[in-house]
Amino acid sequence: MRRIIIDYKKCDGCINCTIACMQAHREDEGTIYDLDLTDPANESRNKSVRAEDGTYRPLFCRHCKEPECVMTCMSGALRKDAENGLVTYDETRCAACFMCVMHCPYGTIKPANSLQKIIKCDFCAADGYEPNCVKACPKKAIHVEEVEA
Amino acid sequence: MRHVIIGSSAAGIAAAAEIRKHQKDAVIVMISKDEHVHSRCMLHKYISHERDVKGLDFTEENFFENQKVDYIQNEVISVLEDEKCVLLRSGEQIPYDKLLIASGAGSFIPPIGDLRTADNVFGMRNLSDAQAIDKMADSAQNVLVIGAGLAGMDAAYAMLERGKKVTVLEMSHRILPVQLDAHSAEVYQRKFESKGTIFYLGRRLEKTISGTGGQICRVVLDTGENIDCDVIIVAAGVRPTIDFLDKSKVEAGRGILVDACLQTNIRDIYAAGDVTGLSGIWPNAVKQGTVAARNMCGIAEKYTDTFNEKNMMNFFGIVTLYLGQICTRKDEVVLTEEDRNVYRRVSIREGKVTGVLLQGDISNAGVWQYLIKNEIDISHIKKNIFQISYADFFSVKADGEYRWKCEGQNFKF
């Protein structure tokens, strides 16, 4: 499967990845220049957290080999795709129970601000599975690589 | 190889999918009383008309065809371990090489008055319960819910959505006593009350009064108070479904007894999910089903992720999560943080997190579960505890997956 590989030492916390994610998943039309960063509906699937020493830790969904989120999903909304290895999310099936939020050991899932669904990485499926965060990273701290599923 | 699975809920379905992953040509037979596979955690959404029967199905599209699982809708009345087969209500015998018992649990109806015999009293466990409650709700006005745990409050919420007058009876002095502390419980109680729910807390049901037609029309409490009701939903706990094992040699206490690999005392017979009594929650049932399936396929694996003090609720747009121990011991330190929408509470003993309660904002909360179940020492982290995240334990494996990094500690999971 293809996975976003993280080299945290290269991350300088510019959060271009976060803005790119919000832009890629916004519901209205527009460019990054008119993206409303304060609209609660515009949420990012990734973040980079500043550590004590001033360096950064990019926190991105791993699309795990044995995803805890999938195991805990009681509606069938979350699946591990046997073909491409991604953990997919079907919001039409989601019951908003948020058990997945409680089970991701890395805290990469959150409820949407609407509390009607979750916010989780979809590997930018709508853009041909070319993640916009990766395209936006000026430091090459994240890149896509083929790994064993 | 011929695998037979009793039960079609979380553990059973997970086991069938896992067996198929390892054995492409094995025969998999699933036997269940259910006409439709359904997620028991969503029954209240059926009662509230938010979902139909199809909307309760948690399996992937064409699961049984694609995974080549034969579904027999019938009831197992006996396990004949010497003949290696199970006996169905229809009289048919189904042979197995490996058997998984994932028959789940059933509602416990207390033996008080006519509760067990009246025809307007229901559990909250199967689709058939939800369908019966839904039907009654068309004409019933006064709904009595016995038990203010999660299932009871789900039922109460669904009945409010249907516009019913809801009364909740609970032995404990607060609602959701296992999951919440007094502060967070009160937030929900006030919301329910503002929608018309009446609570009788710290009281017990003493007797029932039946009207004509075998229906309970009034109950009397230990305080002498009376509650009128048209329909009663009992959510006072569950008991493992093991009555069909009465004549078998499979050992059971309150639930079926299993070893670390989820095998029973009888070779080739495994058990997983609520029927084991190990836990009563979905993710643990799935994990048990998966582990049992691997062992049934000859892949030795132990069920180790046994942590089960966890759950989540979402009522009136307020989410709450609890993990670990909510009742605080004397040697614990409790830290809280609160604003008008959010309440957070963490208890710590000897540098380790023992309990977490988050209300209003549960974002990225999975980290807390990991900290508690692995008993990770956080005393070296010198910052606001509510700012702790996976970033404090960050490490990446060669294949890009994360792993938890913490000096001098080995993690079980």
Chain A: nearest CA to B394, how far in angstroms? Answer: 7
Question: Within this chain, do residues B283 and B351 fall inside the same structural domain, yes or no?
Answer: no
Percentage, residues of chain B above pLDDT 70: 98
Residue A34 sits at φ, ψ, to 5 deg, of: -110, 15
Task: Tell me which residue in A52, A57, A107 faces B365 most closely, judged by beta carbons.
Answer: A107
Partners of residue B366 in chain A, C-beta under 8 Å: 68, 101-109
Q: Does residue B352 register a pLDDT over 80?
A: yes
Residue B283 sits at φ, ψ, to 5 deg, of: -60, -35
Length of chain B: 413
CATH number at residue B130: 3.50.50.60
**Residue A50: other Cβ atoms inside 10 A:** 12
d(CA B361, CA B384): 17
Question: Within this chain, do residues B218 and B282 fall inside the same structural domain, yes or no?
Answer: no
Chain A: nearest CA to B221, how far in angstroms? Answer: 34
What pLDDT was estimated at residue B412?
Answer: 56
- The answer to whether B287 contacts chain A (CB < 8 Å) is yes
Give the single-character DSSP code of B398: T
Written as one letter, the residue type at B305 is: D
Question: Within this chain, do residues B249 and B319 fall inside the same structural domain, yes or no?
Answer: no
d(CA A37, CA A55): 24
What pLDDT was estimated at residue B409?
Answer: 66
Res. B86 pLDDT band, cuts 50 70 90: very high
Query: Considering its fold, how many domains does chain B have in total?
Result: 3
Question: Within this chain, do residues B226 and B279 fall inside the same structural domain, yes or no?
Answer: no
Question: Within this chain, do residues B10 and B34 fall inside the same structural domain, yes or no?
Answer: yes
Q: Do residues B130 and B216 make contact, with C-beta atoms less than 8 angstroms apart?
A: no
* Most B CBs within 10 Å, among A49, A59, A102, to test the B interface: A102
d(CA A79, CA A59): 21
Mean pLDDT score across all residues of chain B: 95
Percentage, residues of chain B above pLDDT 90: 92
Q: Do residues B375 and B323 make contact, with C-beta atoms less than 8 angstroms apart?
A: no
Q: Which residues of B are known catalytic residues?
A: 41
The domain boundary residue, chosen from B234, B252, B275: B234
What pLDDT was estimated at residue B410?
Answer: 59
Distances (CA, A) of B185 to B45, B146, B327: 22, 17, 13
Question: Within this chain, do residues B229 and B242 fall inside the same structural domain, yes or no?
Answer: no
**pLDDT per residue of chain A (149 residues) written in tens, 0 to 9:** 999 999 999 999 999 999 999 999 999 999 999 999 999 999 999 999 999 889 999 999 999 999 999 999 999 999 999 999 999 999 999 999 999 999 999 999 999 999 999 999 999 999 999 999 999 999 999 999 999 87
What pLDDT was estimated at residue B82?
Answer: 96
Structural domain of residue B157, as residue ranges? 121-234
Question: pTM for this structure?
Answer: 0.94
Question: Within this chain, do residues B126 and B270 fall inside the same structural domain, yes or no?
Answer: no
Cα B13 to chain centroid, rounded:
15
Domains present along chain A, CATH in parentheses? 1-60+122-149 (3.30.70.20), 64-120 (3.30.70.20)
Calculate helix-pair angle for B282-296, B10-22, nearest 10 degrees: 30
Classify residue B128: in a domain, yes or no.
yes
Look at A74 and B362 and tell me if their CB atoms are within 8 Å. no
Which residues of A have a CB under 8 Å from any CB of B?
3-6, 8, 49-52, 57, 59, 62, 64-65, 68, 71-76, 79, 95-99, 101-111, 115, 145, 147-148
Residue A106 sits at φ, ψ, to 5 deg, of: -110, 0
Q: Do residues B367 and B389 make contact, with C-beta atoms less than 8 angstroms apart?
A: yes
